[in-house]
Structure 1
């Protein structure tokens, strides 16, 4: 064998060995793990509770990715959209969801701005085979893969239960409702309040309803309320479906010296908690666990995207903040505390803090 032939054979052997090493390394690393594309449609970044929900969702996504890296499981890549407030936000979110469907992500998570408005893009997602998880609000029309929300009926019911315990049974409660009939969560809150007053046989008369769900509409409602009911004692209680609008109503009433009015609200905004602590009109605020709510939506979406089965509807409990329960409340971020005895008369004497499938 001449020298040239020996060199060619040696080089060929080296190439074969290098290829074998590459194939062995690839085999030991296992198959390439897919990155799951998740489009997330947020409602508002002006309502603090919704900002906290986003934070909880994105922190959970980061935790899932850390765990996935350790276990060689699918990671998450989030693409966020923000709709904004009011009718413009509703229209923007419709367009955003159609855009998300065109992108064909593995799953869509959405906090709807309106129950009915997203029916058409939801049906488009259904036709494209893209599962959709809604959180906080429902979508009427089309099929959701899962729905995660605070127990909004419980929130309204706790407020109504508290009001019934606060006022004498013989008194007709002069009540103002601050509502928002465009999304399921706020409708359920109002229904829970009214059902509790009826269940506890508390006489009441609704003096007037106002619509408010964010700061500007809350300020307008508060100003109009004072014009409509200027006399001290003309209103016993105001129920607001959320703190987004309710805080500015409390501000208007407090500035006008209407300290006789009992305010019951929902959300658990830190400013509302401060009002309870200072005994400034707000007597009860049924607080959402906003961080855990967003995290739960992300957990469920990841489970669905990785082929697991989940219950179609999950309820995250709400916490009744009063001056007596303040020391038990951990804040929007959680964690959800253990059960405790309600410090007012109630047919169900204990509050239970468990995430549960809806019946």
Structure 2
């Protein structure tokens, strides 16, 4: 009787193990990325896909190429393919609500990563504290300029939580110091070429600039090119955000003063880990923070 009990127990354990393995294999995750023209989001995608492979789950990735309408269409395609969980990195926090609502209506849980949504039912948001990151950049600039000087802010895509929150944190610091003046604030779409063009125009109208804070490294690198072409590299410090490889290299070479590191690969990994938990019916935190670091050398 004892042997029979042991055999039955072992059989049950094996059956549960096989069922759990089968459940993992059956999980299908949809990943909707804002754009893969940005190295930051390529790293996020790579982290997500690597973790999906490690955990033995399927992941389907779509690229909206910074087009909110395209993101809605691609999410609808993912839903037709019967994904179990949707991870979305919004092009626009307001526009993405339609896509999230579509997932909600289909009974598919939604996780947002890096950028938040302005509505819909989201089970978890995974991101760095962008307000805190903006403050880190602002305090660094204030310290380097001895709390006095003229500063330019290159803003990201209007409507994204990243642009709003990084700008908020930065300007909280700027407002603390009366002798630090933000003499220009202009959006440059988180884009390198646009960052260069916008910075060229700002340079023409402002002969006295001490620092530039860009809401991401692509814009910072574009600004760096414009400043270099104008022969003003020795006058103007540049601080970016994201710590992409080109920016980290520029910091090491002394062409940029600093960048705020977000660790996008880790974001992608954490998003997939969270998605698997959700698919298995486990509770997850509404907000999961990703650590920040200021890179200055």
Q: What's the Cα RMSD here?
A: 1.8
Corresponding pairs, count:
278
Maintained 8 Å contact 1:38/1:78: yes
Aligned to 2:49: 58
Could you tell me which of 173, 196, 214 is aligned with 1:240? 214
Asked whether 1:179 is paired with 2:160, we answer no
Maintained 8 Å contact 1:109/1:135: yes
Comparing 133-142 with 95-104, which one deviates more in the overlay? 95-104
Asked whether 1:269 is paired with 2:268, we answer no
Aligned to 2:174: 197
SS at structure 2 position matched to 1:206:
strand
1:196 Cα deviation after fit: 2.4
How far, CA to CA, are the matches of 1:28 and 1:286 in structure 2? 47
Asked whether 1:322 is paired with 2:282, we answer no
Larger Rg: 1
How far, CA to CA, are the matches of 2:142 and 2:203 in structure 1? 24
Query: Which blocks of at least 5 consecutive residues in structure 2 are unaligned?
Result: 1-10
How far, CA to CA, are the matches of 1:122 and 1:270 in structure 2? 32
SS at structure 2 position matched to 1:38:
strand
SS at structure 2 position matched to 1:45:
coil
1:108 Cα deviation after fit: 0.7
Aligned to 1:225: 202
SS at structure 2 position matched to 1:116:
coil
Aligned to 2:72: 94
Q: Work out which structure has the larger RCO, using CA pairs closer than 8 Å and 6 or more positions apart in sequence.
A: 2
How far, CA to CA, are the matches of 1:219 and 1:283 in structure 2? 17
Maintained 8 Å contact 1:110/1:134: yes
1:298 Cα deviation after fit: 0.8
Deviations 1:31-62 (A, max 9, x none): 65230111111121111111111111111111
Deviations 1:235-293 (A, max 9, x none): 1111100012221111110122112111111111222122222222x211111111111
Maintained 8 Å contact 1:164/1:202: no
How far, CA to CA, are the matches of 1:117 and 1:156 in structure 2? 24
1:182 Cα deviation after fit: 2.1
Asked whether 1:118 is paired with 2:96, we answer yes
1:97 Cα deviation after fit: 1.5
How far, CA to CA, are the matches of 2:63 and 2:246 in structure 1? 24
Could you tell me which of 128, 131, 134 is aligned with 2:112? 134
Asked whether 1:306 is paired with 2:280, we answer yes
Could you tell me which of 18, 27, 37 is aligned with 1:46? 37
Query: Which blocks of at least 5 consecutive residues in structure 1 are unaligned?
Result: 1-25, 66-75, 324-359
How far, CA to CA, are the matches of 2:14 and 2:253 in structure 1? 60
How far, CA to CA, are the matches of 1:78 and 1:273 in structure 2? 30
Asked whether 1:294 is paired with 2:294, we answer no
Maintained 8 Å contact 2:242/2:261: yes
